[in-house]
Amino acid sequence: MAGRLVKAGLVIRFHAVTLFPEMFAAVTASGISGRALEAGLWSLGLWNPRDFTSDNYRTVDDRPYGGGPGMVMLAEPLDKALDAARQAGGGKVIYLSPQGRKLDHAMVMELAGTTAMTFLCGRYEGVDERLIGRRVDEELSIGDYVLSGGELAAMAVIDAVVRQIPGALGGEQSALEESFVDGLLDCPQYTRPEVWPQDGAGGKVPAQVPSTLLSGHHENIRRWRLQQALGRTWLRRPDLLAARKLNDDERKLLEDFQRQRGESGK
């Protein structure tokens, strides 16, 4: 169909080697990623290592050498599943694990610039180290906590990367206006009604929508939003602010924000 693909070449072919392929419905069936899949902007090949076993029990794991709790995923079925993904054009092999490099916006953009990648999703206590040493190009973590498997982490990566494919976000939405793009957190958002709740009771923020947003003055609104983004980043993620240069205007907006906070007692 004409116009279905925004631009030739900007299609990303994901693959996942997983014991739980059905989990991936979370990104294929709903929301922005689901719609982008239907639009042909990305694809997903699922490869179950159980389908690459040769024994009657379809064994995919065994006890760890040296003892200890849990099971370790066998190298051989994973190796064969990765071969199948590679034959389908699998690209770089990314193993999801808490030991990996921590995912951030820069990494998402890097991945969004490639055309294919294969996620290796571990379960149990992990994957035989020899398989990792021979087949994995990158080890990636989505945070300093332990998930029960790599699938949720792989889906987090898929979702974040798909949002960056041109055309994945509908209509006026733009990946350029989101948190982190500019090294800052997002500004707060409001929608109708202008006062909520009606009695104005409770909460840490006023019930009234900030007047600037109702003013229709585009430049003032832009500056208010920038100031809020700067202020929030200062309050919540000073590490991000330290890593970003501020121009004179931004510095003034932030100082203003800080002064107001100081007066109202941060």
Enumerate binding residues for ligand ADE (CB under 6 A). Answer: 96-98, 141-143, 145-147, 150, 153
Min dist CB 200 to ligand ADE, Å, is: 41
What 3-state DSSP class applies to 11? Answer: coil
Min dist CB 78 to ligand ADE, Å, is: 15
Min dist CB 215 to ligand ADE, Å, is: 44
Min dist CB 43 to ligand ADE, Å, is: 22
* Residue closer to ligand ADE (CB basis): 105 or 225: 105
Nearest to 17 by CA among 146, 145, 151: 151
Cis, peptide link before residue 238, omega less than 30° from 0: no
Q: How far is CA 64 from CA 57, 125, 219, in A?
A: 19, 9, 62
Which residue matches tokens 């960056």? Answer: 164
Phi, psi of 96 (to 5 degrees): -85, 125
Min dist CB 160 to ligand ADE, Å, is: 13
Angle of helix 151-162 relative to helix 31-38, nearest 10 degrees? 70
Adjacent-strand bridge partners of 42: 12
Q: Do 139 and 132 touch, CB atoms closer than 8 A?
A: yes
End-to-end alpha carbon distance in the chain: 55
Min dist CB 94 to ligand ADE, Å, is: 10
* Residue closer to ligand ADE (CB basis): 101 or 259: 101
Strand order in the sheet with 138-141: 42-47, 12-17, 116-121, 92-102, 138-141
* Residue closer to ligand ADE (CB basis): 48 or 141: 141
Structure tokens at 204: 């840490």
* Residue closer to ligand ADE (CB basis): 81 or 254: 81
Which residues lie below 8 Å from residue 45, measured CB to CB, with a gap of 6+?
13, 14, 15, 16, 85, 88, 90
Min dist CB 125 to ligand ADE, Å, is: 11
* Residue closer to ligand ADE (CB basis): 129 or 194: 129
Nearest to 221 by CA among 207, 210, 206: 210
Question: What does DSSP assign to residue 49?
Answer: G
* Residue closer to ligand ADE (CB basis): 77 or 150: 150
* Residue closer to ligand ADE (CB basis): 120 or 230: 120
Q: Do 52 and 17 touch, CB atoms closer than 8 A?
A: no
